[in-house]
Amino acid sequence: MTLALFPSCVLPGCTTPVVHVGEPCEGCREVFGPMLQSAAGPALTDEQITYRDSTTRSAYQVQRWIREDLR
């Protein structure tokens, strides 16, 4: 795990720094606007975001392997 000065945006795939863990960056707020909704429960922790993003990256990697195999 790499330590960063600031946490990254909560949206998967976005690495823009933010002030607080679990919040979206200004760019994502602007792009997604009202589609971004606050969750009813507590904000995700850094550990939860890391786990979620690692599973997303794994899924992307599998998709990449499949595309490469089909070439």
pLDDT for the residue 3: 64
What average pLDDT does the segment 39-54 reach? 87
Cα distances (angstroms) measured from residue 34 to each of 9, 20, 21, 28, 29: 17, 20, 20, 11, 8
pLDDT by residue (tens digit) across 1-32?
Answer: 456 788 999 998 898 999 999 999 999 999 99
Domain regions of the chain by residue span: 1-71
pTM over 0.75: no
Q: Give the pLDDT band of residue 39 (cuts 50, 70, 90).
A: confident
Check pLDDT > 70 for residue 63: yes
